[in-house]
Structure 1
C-alpha cells in the first residue's frame, strides 16, 4: 500500500508503560463482568427458557467478549489518533507519533481478532447450553455457527480485525490509515446489530441506540488510551492531540449518555430501575458515565490548559490513566449487563409484526399517517439534524466574516436534510419495512431526491470557505482533510462516469432482481445498510454531474448531460420489469407479516414499480434544469470574460482572428 519507510525516532520508548495499565484494567473488567453475571444474571437461562451450559462456558464467553471489546477500542482509538490527532509529514507519511499509534493498533487488532474468533464457538455453546468442548468438533461448530446470527457476526468481526491487523503492518501513509480507521469502525457493527437488542419489541430503537453507544465508546475510550500512550512515549504534539481529542470526547460522552438512556428505557420501565438486578446494573453504568464525564471535564480544564500554560502534560496523563481504569471497569459493567436478562415484569410478548419490525402497525397507510405517524430514526434522523446544524454553523461563520453565501444553496441543503428526516422518521420510515410500495418511495427519496438537493448545497465548497487553512508549517486540520478527500484516489475512482453510473443504476438491478433483497428485508441492519447505500451512491453520481463542489473529475457540460440521459432509460426499464414480474420480491417476509390490508403482494409490487418509473423522472428533471442553468451561467461568465479581454486589447482569440484575416488578405508569392 505504501513505499514510505518507517520514521525513525530517538524519543524514549515508553510505549510499554501503557500495557500494564491495559492488562490490569482488562483483568479488572473481566472480574467485574463475571461477578455481575453471577450476582445478577445467574438465572438468565431459566428466565429465557434456555438450557444452562457449564460455568466455564458462561464465564469464558464473558472473558473473551471483554478481550474483544478492549482490543476493538484500542484499535479504533489508535487509528483515530494516527489519522486525525497528530499531523503527518509533508510527504503524507505518518510521523513518529502516528507510526507508534499504528503499531499500537496492530497489537489491539491482534487481541480483537483472538477475542472475536473465540467468541464464535463460545456463543454457539452458550446458545445450545452445552460445554464448549461439545461444540468444538468442526462439523458441529460449522452447523451451529451457520444457524446463529451472532456467532456469524463474531466470525465476520474476526475477519475484519484480521484485515486491520495485516493493514497495520504494511501501511505507512496518512491516507491509508484513514481507510483502516473506517474499516475498524465497520468491525464494531456486526455484533452490535445482531445482539439481544436486535430481537423482540422495540428492537429497531434498541439496535440503533446500541450501535451509536458502541461507536461512541470505542472512539472515546480508544482515543484516550492512544492519547495516554502518546504522552508516555514523550512525542511531540501532545497539546494538539489533547485539544482535538477533548472535542471528540465531549461529543462521544453526549452520544453515549443519550443512546444509553434510550436503550435502557426500551428494555426497562422506570419503576424497575432500583428494584431489580438489571435496573441496578443500569444505574451503576449511568453513575460510571457521570464519573467519566467529570474526568473528561477535568481533562479539558486542567490537562489541556496545563500543556498550554506550563508546557507539561503530567496532569493530563494522571487524569487519563485514572479515566482509562474507570472506563475499563465500565466495560465490565456493560459486559455483565449484556449477559443479564431484563426482569420478567419488563418483558411483554410482542405480536407478530412487532417481533419482525420492532413496533406494531395497527392500520393501513393513509396520506395523513404517512406524513404525521412519526417514529424517529436514531441513525438517519440524527444524521439529518446534525448535517443541517453543521451547515448552518458554516454559513453563520461566513456571515460573521462578511462573506456572501448563496441563499439557494442553503435552502437546497436544508431541503435535502429534511428529505432524509422525512423519508426515515415519518410514516414512510415506519411503513417502509412492511410494504414494498412504501419502501420504493423511501428508496426514491433517499437515492434520487435527497442527494440532488445535498449536492446543490455545495457542502465541501462551504467547508473550504468557512474553515481557516492551517497555514504554512502548521499541522493539517479539517480544511486540509476535506481537500485530501476531494483529491484522493478513492474519490477519483468513484467519480469516474462509468463507475458512478454502474453504482447508481446497477444498485436497482443488483438489489431487487438478484435475490439479495429477499435475504436482506427481514433484517433491521440490512435496512440501515440499504438506506446508507442509497444516499451514498446517489451523492456519488450527482457530485460530478452538478459540479457545485470541486470534483476530482471535471466533466464538460455535454458529458454531464449525456450521463444524466444515459441513466434515465435504466430507471424506466427497472420500473417496467417490476410491474411485469409474476413473482413477488421478498415474498416470504411480507407473507409472514400477514398485514390485513396488504394481501395482494403482487399488486403492491406493481405499485412500487410504477412509483420507481414515475417518481424517478422528477428528480432527473430537476437535475436537467439545474444543469442547463449552470451551463447557461458558465457561458455567460465566459462571454463576459472575453468581452473584458477584448475591451482591454488583451485577447488571444481576437489576435488570432486578426492574424488569420491578415494572412488571408496577403497575396500569395
Structure 2
C-alpha cells in the first residue's frame, strides 16, 4: 500500500474507532430488549451505524469533489476532470450505501433480522410505508442521477452539484430531528449542519487528494479557505441550535451521556478551528513554496482524521437517546412548535431563529459589505436599500410574521407581500450585480463576476410574466395553499420560489442592474400591470369569495383568532393594499423614464452632430 493509501485508511479508521467507542458509551446499540418480542439482531444494531458512517463519507466526498470541480479548479484543467470522474464513483458508492441503509433501517424499524427480510419480497417492499426508508430511496435515485450526469462532459457541473447537495437533505427531514420539540428549528439546524459540514469536509478532502501536487493548489487553497471559514460558522451555529432544542437544561450537557457526546463534538470543533487558524495564518499565503506544501499535506491529513472522528461522533449521537422531556411537549400538536396567543404585540416580538435562513441571509449581507469596502465611492442609498431588503426578509421569515404565517391566512398574505414584492424591490435597488462586477477583476479570488453574467433565457418576457403571476395564483387561487402551509419543508420551498420569482421580475422592472437582453419599455409596463392586477384580483377573491384553505387554517388557528373567515377577509385587504405602494412607485419610475427618453435621444443626436462637425473641420494631416 502506498503512503497516501495508508493515510486514507488511517483517516477512515479514526472515524470508525470513535464511532464504536461513542456507540458503546452512549448506549446506541444496547437498548433494553423486551422478552417475547422480535429483535433486529446484532448485525443491524452494529451494522446500521457503520453503514451510515460509510454513507456519510460517500456523500461528503461526492459533494466535495463536485464543489472542487465547480469552484476550485479552472474549467479545462486536468484537476477539474479528475474531480468530476471521482465524483461519479463516489456517487455510485453513495447509492450502494443507500441500498444497505435501506435494508438495515427497515430491519431496525420492524424489527426483523436482515436475513429474514432478504427472504421475503413483501417485507422489502413494506419499506415504502416508512418515511425513513422513503427518504433513502429518494437519495438512491438522486445519487444514481449524479453518477450518470458526471459522464456528460457538456453539462454544467453545477447541475450534478446541486442534485448532490439536495440528496443530503431528505434523511434530515425524517430523522431524529423530526420528533423533538421545535421541529422546524431542529430540522433546519440539521439540514444546515449537514450541508455546511459536507462542503467543508468534502472540500478539504478534494483539495488534499486532487490538488496537493498541482500547480493550481495556490488558487484552490485560498478559495477553499474562504468557504471553510463560512462553513465553520454555519456548523457551529447549527450545532448549537440543534443541541438547544434537544437538551432541557444546560446541566444536561454534563449530566447525561447525550450531553457528554455533544461536548465531545464541541472539543472536536475547537480543534478544527485551530487547524483552520493555522492554515489561514501560516500556509495559505506561502503555499507556492515546496516546504509549505509538505506542511499543508501533513496538517490537512491530521485535520481530515479529526473530521472523520467528528463524523463518527455525529452518527453515534444520532443513535443515542436524548434526555427525557425534549420530545415536543408544549409544542403545537400540528405545527410542531410553540405558538403564543396571537396579538399585535406577539406578532412584533415573536422570534424564531431558523439556522438555515440565518445562514442564507448572512451570506449576501457579508458579501455585499465586502464589495462596498472595495468601492469607497459606492452610493450610500444603494447600500441602505440592500440592507433594508435583507432586514425585511429576516423580519418576514424569522420574526412573528414567520411564526404565524402557517397558522393565519392574513399573516401568510403579509409574508407573501413582503417576500414577493417589497423585499425584492429593495434588494434590486441595491444593485448587487453591478457591485459584484465593479468589485471583482480577473485577479480576484473567484475571478471577474461581470464576465460571467448570464440569464438571457430566464429574462424572456413570457417567462417573466409567468414568474410574476403564477406563484400568487397557485397560492391563493388553488388548493396548493393548504399543502404548502402543512409542513416546514413545503412552506420553505414555497417561500423560496416566491422570493426567487420576485427577484427575477423586479430585477427587470427596477432596471438598476445590467440585463442580459434589452427589455422594451412596453414589455416592462405590461409586466408591472400584470403583477399589480393579479394581486388586486386575488385580493378581491379572498375578500368576497368562498373560504380558502379552511380545512387547514381552522385546525391551526392560534388562541386569539376565533373567526377564520374574518381573518381571510383581512387577508384579502392586505393582498390588495400592501403591494400597492411599491408597485405604484415603480409605475411612476417607468412613466418618468418614458418621458425622459425623447429628451435623452435628442441630447444624444445633438452630441453626435457636434462630434461629426468637429471631425469635418479638422484638417487632415
- TM > 0.5 between the two? yes
Would you say the 8 A contact 2:23–2:29 is kept in 1? no
> Which of 152, 175, 178 is 1:170 aligned to?
152
The corresponding residue for 1:259 is: 238
- Out of 531-540 and 37-46, give the one that drifted further: 37-46
Q: What are the Cα deviations for residues 476-523 of structure 1, in whole angstroms up to 9, with x where unaligned?
A: 853534532x22xxx222221211221331122334555433333232
C-alpha change, 1:555 and 1:365, in structure 2 (3 Å) is same
1:157 aligns with 2:136: no
> Which of 425, 428, 446 is 1:478 aligned to?
446
Would you say the 8 A contact 1:544–1:554 is kept in 2? no
Deviation of 1:586 after TM superposition, in Å, equals 6.2
2-structure distance, mates of 1:551, 1:646 = 29
Cα RMSD for the two superposed structures = 2.9
Would you say the 8 A contact 1:85–1:241 is kept in 2? yes
2-structure distance, mates of 1:51, 1:609 = 56
Give the match's secondary structure for 1:480: coil
Deviation of 1:457 after TM superposition, in Å, equals 1.2
The corresponding residue for 2:315 is: 335
C-alpha change, 1:405 and 1:150, in structure 2 (3 Å) is same
The corresponding residue for 2:93 is: 111
Give the match's secondary structure for 2:341: coil
1-structure distance, mates of 2:307, 2:134 = 28
Matches within 5 A, 1:241-260: 241-260=220-239
The corresponding residue for 2:342 is: 364
Deviation of 1:85 after TM superposition, in Å, equals 0.9
C-alpha change, 1:42 and 1:416, in structure 2 (3 Å) is closer
> Which of 45, 48, 66 is 1:58 aligned to?
45
Deviation of 1:105 after TM superposition, in Å, equals 1.0
2-structure distance, mates of 1:196, 1:532 = 25
Q: What are the Cα deviations for residues 578-626 of structure 1, in whole angstroms up to 9, with x where unaligned?
A: 4455354162x43443634334333333432332233233332232123
Q: What are the Cα deviations for residues 354-393 of structure 1, in whole angstroms up to 9, with x where unaligned?
A: x443432231232x32222233333334433442333233
> Which of 421, 430, 435 is 2:408 aligned to?
435
The corresponding residue for 1:621 is: 584
Would you say the 8 A contact 1:304–1:313 is kept in 2? no
Give the match's secondary structure for 1:308: coil
The corresponding residue for 1:281 is: 261
2-structure distance, mates of 1:194, 1:650 = 75
The corresponding residue for 2:299 is: 319
Q: What are the Cα deviations for residues 74-131 of structure 1, in whole angstroms up to 9, with x where unaligned?
A: 111111111111222xxxxx31011011111112111222222332343233233333
Q: What are the Cα deviations for residues 635-654 of structure 1, in whole angstroms up to 9, with x where unaligned?
A: 544443323223344599xx
C-alpha change, 1:606 and 1:638, in structure 2 (3 Å) is same
Deviation of 1:53 after TM superposition, in Å, equals 2.9
C-alpha change, 1:638 and 1:181, in structure 2 (3 Å) is farther
The corresponding residue for 2:107 is: 125
> Which of 347, 351, 354 is 1:374 aligned to?
351
2-structure distance, mates of 1:44, 1:557 = 70
> Which of 365, 368, 372 is 1:388 aligned to?
365
- Out of 271-280 and 386-395, give the one that drifted further: 386-395
1-structure distance, mates of 2:550, 2:175 = 24
Deviation of 1:218 after TM superposition, in Å, equals 0.6
C-alpha change, 1:591 and 1:138, in structure 2 (3 Å) is farther
Deviation of 1:464 after TM superposition, in Å, equals 0.7
1-structure distance, mates of 2:534, 2:3 = 60
The corresponding residue for 1:411 is: 384
Give the match's secondary structure for 1:330: helix
Would you say the 8 A contact 1:230–1:238 is kept in 2? no
2-structure distance, mates of 1:231, 1:303 = 15
Would you say the 8 A contact 2:138–2:170 is kept in 1? yes
Give the match's secondary structure for 1:273: helix
> Which of 417, 429, 438 is 1:444 aligned to?
417
Would you say the 8 A contact 1:444–1:612 is kept in 2? yes
C-alpha change, 1:552 and 1:127, in structure 2 (3 Å) is same
1-structure distance, mates of 2:529, 2:133 = 46
C-alpha change, 1:166 and 1:648, in structure 2 (3 Å) is same
1-structure distance, mates of 2:597, 2:366 = 31
Would you say the 8 A contact 1:434–1:593 is kept in 2? yes
1:559 aligns with 2:523: yes
Give the match's secondary structure for 1:574: helix
Deviation of 1:263 after TM superposition, in Å, equals 1.5
The corresponding residue for 1:609 is: 572
Would you say the 8 A contact 2:245–2:326 is kept in 1? no
The corresponding residue for 1:297 is: 277
The corresponding residue for 2:467 is: 503
1-structure distance, mates of 2:451, 2:172 = 33
The corresponding residue for 1:6 is: none
Runs of 5+ unmatched residues, structure 2 = 616-621
The corresponding residue for 1:202 is: 182
Q: What are the Cα deviations for residues 383-428 of structure 1, in whole angstroms up to 9, with x where unaligned?
A: 33442333233223211xxxx3333322221221111011112211
1:548 aligns with 2:534: no
Deviation of 1:560 after TM superposition, in Å, equals 0.9
Q: What are the Cα deviations for residues 274-313 of structure 1, in whole angstroms up to 9, with x where unaligned?
A: 2211011111111111111222222333433442344752
2-structure distance, mates of 1:437, 1:138 = 49
Moved over 6 A (4+): none
Give the match's secondary structure for 1:170: coil
Runs of 5+ unmatched residues, structure 1 = 1-13, 89-93, 471-475, 653-669
1-structure distance, mates of 2:256, 2:421 = 49
C-alpha change, 1:53 and 1:549, in structure 2 (3 Å) is same
C-alpha change, 1:594 and 1:450, in structure 2 (3 Å) is closer
2-structure distance, mates of 1:170, 1:19 = 29
Matches within 5 A, 1:586-605: 587=551, 589-593=552-556, 595-605=558-568
> Which of 442, 445, 449 is 1:469 aligned to?
442
Q: What are the Cα deviations for residues 522-557 of structure 1, in whole angstroms up to 9, with x where unaligned?
A: 321222222211211111112222221122222022
Would you say the 8 A contact 2:11–2:301 is kept in 1? no
Deviation of 1:631 after TM superposition, in Å, equals 4.2
C-alpha change, 1:248 and 1:550, in structure 2 (3 Å) is same
Would you say the 8 A contact 1:67–1:115 is kept in 2? yes
